[in-house]
Structure 1
Amino acid sequence: MDYRIFTLNKKTCIIHYPAKPNGFGVLWIGYFDGDIGADDRPTVNKPRKSLMEELNVRGYTVFYTVLEKHHFANPQALEQVENLYEFVKRNEILNEKIHLIAEGIGALLAESFLADKGDYVRSAVFIDPAFSLKKLTEEVKDQPFLLKKLYSDLKKAYSLSSDEECEFFINNQHRHPVVIPVPFQIVHFVRPDRKREGTDREEKYQNLAEDRILALPSGGRHALSAVIFRLFKETEKQL
């Protein structure tokens, strides 16, 4: 993959370029560690790299920024992602309406991004999304070490000073159902030995259509690609 690495607001950003551009960009919001390999190439985990390569082969320009690992969609992370979008819009020859892919806690950030810049997003795909800090807390409530770590990370992300402040913040954060103002798909990967709670029709999904929430087996990466490209093509009919 052809790529460009640069710094924006002291954060590493990377753009992966296709050999034959189709004019559409994909903003990827997930956890990227920002490591650069010995060959000066950005390091990306294998499943993600495979999907990025497929996006490039199909003509999509993929761009993302390195964020703090546990940003929990704080204002600094949102500002960085929005600044990256504006930078790419100014400097790359792309349709201003982009596609969005969000992983894990990146879904919280994507929801805020869509609230601000939904008019510039063509479609959104959420992979194993975490739309709720409360749900993350419930998953580790019986594991004291992990709960303590979550509170510690949340304190850093939002400058909170106590566990009580963390609990108050979690209980009052994003209490509304998920609102996605663009065509979208939510995909959860399910291990054979464990049904992921997020695949249920939980309260935060109550206003979303059933066919927009899919559960795939943990090895279903090819099925994920098909879901993504079908959605992309559907939303590219009107420029």
Structure 2
Amino acid sequence: MGLPTWLTPSHGIILALLLGFAIAHSGLAALRPWGEAKIGPRLYRVLFALVSIPLATILIVYFFNHRYDGLMLWQVQGVPGVKATVWVLSVISFLFLYPATFNLLEIAAIAKPQVHLYETGILRVCRHPQMVGQVIWCIAHTLWLGTTFTLVTSLGLVAHHLFAVWHGDYRLKKRYGDAFVKVKDRTSIIPLLAVLDGRQTLKWEEFLRPAYVGVLGFVALLWWGHPWLMQVTSRVPW
């Protein structure tokens, strides 16, 4: 008995691409102390980007081109309110994915990259905002597209970010020891849990940062350029 016809090879390929990205991304993060000692923080940041960005680009293009592969589990694109809901969830996801605590100069290796122990802004809401943002993004896009390919992709992305939660905590504890344990005790993985049980207090002034304006601008640009982006990626023969 063969595989069902809807189970296209793209399902396995996207999982393989996700696994490759996860190994490279998390592996380089784990090797950061050793690598920085060998070649310096700035050069290691450049190396990290040279590996991660092409792999991420391949993933994104492949996802765009195969998003409707497989079995259509549901079709709600014509249901009133769904499109608006997907965009609202997408905006929220990016606010978590790219918190204002990120230092853009360090990301670009203009300033010396460092490992920070933050407990401000979005991290008061959740200690691992990227994981939360990715989960929200996956929910929104799986709802909109409704295909088995998108569902498989989303499950792979969420699995990677759940691993990154453990891996991130492990690396921070290894670097900061008791200082991280205290931060961990005052924060939560589940959004707002530490606030609700009194371990953390939101400080709204910490959210009034230019980085959040940049994120909203990026989302607006993405909304405007989304059709064009679909056309461009469709020309890639993957």
TM-score bracket, normalised by the shorter chain, equals: under 0.3
In terms of fraction of residues, the more helix-rich structure is 2
Give the TM-score normalised by the residue count of structure 2.
Answer: 0.26
Question: Max radius of gyration: which structure?
Answer: 2
TM-score where L is the length of structure 1? 0.26
